[in-house]
Structure 1
């Protein structure tokens, strides 16, 4: 079935939210997949294709980030329920489509520049480089999940509530957001090493 035929069907993520979302950043448009799916679980079918990760729905990529080593390692159904509950909280607090809020948070927390090490002889230089769009999306998702994880660690606040607050704060470009702080720190370091 082509993307056009899928878009004509009324498929909603978690049975509630529509994927008709506006992506403002033109460079991230190809790398944020909003393909409508009933259940965000591709089972790694993208793994051996070049840039296959960009065809995985963005909600599933958020779920996969939550499964990083630690408490939730490998427990996809638990991560699925966390994201679902976080989306419920986002919809209740903002009154908007949570997928739109997530896309806005990714656009705001994706760094544009970072630093790489270059060794020349025995000397190490740090050089500022532009970040590819694929890596920008990866870093933004990682920062969002790290912020939620640190906010709920050793804290009575559940992780789904912390994730919802982090996504809402990043989507409104709030400097209290962990993801926004990390992005600004990365770009500041890159600016100083130009």
Structure 2
């Protein structure tokens, strides 16, 4: 007798449901909430244009944790950090941690940034709209950077720091590094219009 598993039975880490609401319509296409038990695709997206949009959002967070430094290339360590972080978020907020993560990404994704334009040897800074793919990349990068900075030379473990950063970003708390960074990027873009 074969046991069939439908997509409704699959939960991230065996615990968290991916039935999540994405409020930002521009990010809806790029935040992949496809249910996967193990968020580890092994780089199958690598050689396709916009392939990382097909990666589950939890795996993109895991991949961002593997930035150069202490965790470079250690995917299992990053996997365990995110797994523990999601448990901490669920205990602290009482909500689905995937939903909290999506709220944090929506709140910390900058809508406008600055680019350099050289014109006759003179450099101008011009405000430009940010593509949805880059918005998610920047949001995840700032969330992870804030967590790493909070736990560096500090007895607080990275799991707690990441959970606090995600919760603060989801609540639009100005104590969050990612929220401050987004506001700084948008303020600079506003001044260079």
Same fold (TM over 0.5): yes
**Count of residue pairs brought into register by the alignment:** 190
Could you tell me how far 1:50 is from its partner in structure 2? 1.1
Could you tell me how far 1:7 is from its partner in structure 2? 6.5
Q: State the partner residue of 2:81.
A: 82
Q: State the partner residue of 2:30.
A: 31
Distance 1:187 1:76 in 2: 32
Deviation string for 1:43-72 (max 9, x for gaps)? Answer: 000011111100000000000000010000
Deviation string for 1:115-164 (max 9, x for gaps)? Answer: 00000011000000000000000000000000000000000000000000
SS at match of 1:134: helix
Question: RMSD value over aligned CA atoms?
Answer: 1.2
Q: Compared with structure 1, are the counterparts of its residues 7 and 105 closer, same or farther at alpha carbon in structure 2 (3 Å cutoff)?
A: farther
Q: Kindly indicate whether residue 45 of structure 2 is the aligned counterpart of residue 46 of structure 1.
A: yes
- Any unmatched runs of 5+ in structure 1? 1-5
Could you tell me how far 1:38 is from its partner in structure 2? 1.1
Q: State the partner residue of 2:57.
A: 58
Distance 2:63 2:7 in 1: 27
- Runs (4 or more) in structure 1 with deviation over 6 Å come to none
Q: Is the 8 A contact 2:10 2:36 kept in 1?
A: yes
Distance 2:132 2:68 in 1: 25
Q: Is the 8 A contact 1:110 1:137 kept in 2?
A: yes
Could you tell me how far 1:8 is from its partner in structure 2? 4.1
Distance 2:178 2:53 in 1: 21
